[in-house]
Amino acid sequence: MIERRKHLTAREVEKLLAAIKGSRNEARDRCLVLLMYRHGLRVSEACGLQLEQVDTESRILHVRRLKGGLSTTQPLRSDELRVIKGWMAERSRMKPMGTAFFVSEQRKPLHRSTVNYALKHYGELAGLPVAVHPHMLRHACGYALADQGADTRLIQDYLGHRNIQHTVRYTASNPARFERLWR
């Protein structure tokens, strides 16, 4: 039976990434999933990502938020830089037209339906108990940041939420926020 949950756990994201290994679009899809998860990207933000937004030299990602969100500049971690470089090497062999960061096998900007299909497929391969869709990675990011002890305002800024009511779901249900009380 498939669970009705709107996010993935950190362990499920790891399983999703493992399921990508050996796939036809492994370099692209590993990079896509990792960046969507780590930076809380919406599917349209990931598909709309441009080459100039990914600065491997400075180790930063310029995130242009949609839906009226606040755009941010975020650091790229070592493992992210590795998958980005792997994808960029593959992308350059494809010789795509344009400046889209993620491209399809047809060398055109990646379409959201392709991402939806790929994540559903990888979720099934990974044996996850939920039907995986792209927005689950954004929610997984919020919950992972809360689990790491990030406060609500920091998560709000990181995800680009204008209204904090969209952010409180991540910290309100996290019992770890009470651990420092009564010491």
Q: Which residues are catalytic?
A: 42, 67, 135, 138, 161, 170
**Host H or E run for residue 12:** helix 10-20
Cα-Cα-Cα-Cα dihedral of 16, 20, 25, 30, to 10°?
Answer: 60
Asked if residue 130 lies in contact with residue 2, where contact means CB atoms within 8 angstroms, the answer is yes
**Host H or E run for residue 60:** strand 60-63
CA distance 145 to 176: 12
